[in-house]
Amino acid sequence: MAGYRAVTGMVKTNVHDHHMYKIRMGELESLLRALGYRIVERIIQVRPKETVDYVFGKGKVEEIRERIKRINPDVFVVYNTLTSKQKWNLERKLGVEVIDRYDVTLMIFREAASDILSKLQIELATLEKAFPYVKLSASIKYKKMRAGFRGGGEYAYHKQIRAIQKRMKILRRKIDKLSRQKELEIMKRIEGGARIAVLTGYYNAGKTSLFNALTGFEKPVSDMPFTTLSSKYGGIEGENTYLVDTIGFVLDLDPRLIASFQLNLLDITHSHRQVLVVDVSDKLDLMRVKLAESLKILSELGKGRESLVIAANKVDRLEDYEYDAREEVIREMLGDGVPIIPVSAKSGEGLRELVRAIVRAPELEIAE
Ligand SMILES: Nc1nc2c(ncn2[C@@H]2O[C@H](COP(=O)(O)OP(=O)(O)OP(=O)(O)O)[C@@H](O)[C@H]2O)c(=O)[nH]1
Ligand SMILES: [Mg+2]
């Protein structure tokens, strides 16, 4: 995909937001760059509400059309989540493929998937996302055909829809079976008396790097987003604790993605301790949003602060005073009682303290 050009766009509905939208857009653009796209233009409209037909307002769509015509990109990527109707209308109006943030995430997942389970989940998520759009476009085409010649289109339309439905059903069944197996394995480990500590956090935070440093494994680590899709398990030497490396989060995570990757989140649900890996070398604002969203996801999965440990990773990239400023922000957001351990998976700094915080018995915490 190298050399492909993308224009990005966003309808910003919060008129008071003068800064955060740039950070969010920047994150989307770095995902696109990881896929090999060059960002050639960014179009923002400030509008209290998205429009039902085009997301953007009518006048703005005309302006976008002119700009797209001049730039001639390969794709127009919209930050906002698009309905099938909005995607269809925009594509007709602009004459270019239009995708949203969720599509971009799925594209990256597809590139990263190497195991069977991840591949099945991505195929299902992609089909579920595409299905309403396929239905809409097929029905529009079918209606047009019927107006012209009657018949013909209907058969092909139903056949295509049925084929997709059948495939989704097969995928769901396979994933269900694997989920049950996985849940049994998790329960077996717990019943064996092991304590489960899960490494969680944003993609590229350094979860796998820490996992490797603590377990002695050599699982793949890279700058590419979502290097890890399915969980990895390993013991911490000398401790009755299983460490689990999990799939990363992404900003404004789509609920459909969470639903499709439920299985991967089972590890968090069943864990005794959650180690939230925070990349403290991120810009302060970005770190703050990521942390807030991570805490929200963890609490939605039923995990509170009492079992949380913060691994403030990549301290090797910071001066001491820079780290202190970040720790202060984290402390402000979490309140007292949650251990914040400065670590570097790269230099090994703080790893011993991290292990101590991970294996500490919950009874002791209450007494402290
Ligand atoms: N400087 C520095 N770089 C680090 C550190 N830990 C991880 N990295 C780098 O950060 C990038 C991401 O590391 P990973 O361990 O793959 O991150 P992850 O959280 O597992 O990412 P996903 O699997 O994509 O969710 C890699 O380029 C690592 O080399 C650290 O302590 N210091
Ligand atoms: Mg990883």
End-to-end CA distance of the chain: 54
Alpha-carbon gap, residue 108 to 99, rounded angstroms: 13
* Ligand 2 centroid, distance to 38 Cα (angstroms): 25
* Ligand 2 centroid, distance to 279 Cα (angstroms): 13
Determine whether the shortest distance from the Cβ of 204 to ligand 1 is under 6 A: yes
Q: What number of residues does the chain have?
A: 368
Give, as residue ranges, everything with CB less than 5 Å from ion ligand 2.
Answer: 207-208, 227-228
Determine whether the shortest distance from the Cβ of 8 to ligand 1 is under 6 A: no
3-state secondary structure of 287: helix
- Give the model's pLDDT for residue 2: 54
The answer regarding whether domain 4-108 maps to CATH 3.30.360.10 reads: no
Q: Which residues contact 188 (CB under 8 A, 6 or more apart)?
A: none
Is the whole-model pTM more than 0.85?
yes
Maximum Cα–Cα distance for the chain, whole Å?
79
DSSP at 354: H
Ligand with smallest separation from the Cα of 223: 1
Give, for all 368 residues of the chain, the pLDDT tens digit. 458 999 999 999 999 999 999 999 999 999 999 999 999 999 999 999 999 999 999 999 999 999 999 999 999 999 999 999 999 999 999 999 999 999 999 999 999 888 888 999 999 999 999 999 999 988 887 776 665 555 566 777 788 889 999 999 999 999 999 989 999 999 998 898 889 999 999 999 999 999 999 999 999 999 999 999 989 999 988 788 999 999 999 998 888 888 888 888 899 999 999 999 999 999 999 999 999 999 999 999 999 999 999 999 999 999 999 999 999 999 999 999 999 999 999 999 999 999 999 998 664 443 33
* Ligand 2 centroid, distance to 338 Cα (angstroms): 24
Ligand with smallest separation from the Cα of 346: 1
* Ligand 1 centroid, distance to 344 Cα (angstroms): 10
* Ligand 2 centroid, distance to 268 Cα (angstroms): 15
Alpha-carbon gap, residue 72 to 79, rounded angstroms: 19
Determine whether the shortest distance from the Cβ of 227 to ligand 1 is under 6 A: yes
Determine whether the shortest distance from the Cβ of 264 to ligand 1 is under 6 A: no
Q: Which CATH architecture has domain 194-367?
A: 3-Layer(aba) Sandwich (3.40)
- Count of C-beta atoms within a 10 Å radius of residue 208: 24
Do 239 and 194 touch, CB atoms closer than 8 A? no
- Give the model's pLDDT for residue 367: 34
Alpha-carbon gap, residue 343 to 311, rounded angstroms: 6
* CA-closest residue to ligand 1 atom 13: 206
Tokens of 336: 């007292």
Determine whether the shortest distance from the Cβ of 248 to ligand 1 is under 6 A: yes
Determine whether the shortest distance from the Cβ of 225 to ligand 1 is under 6 A: yes
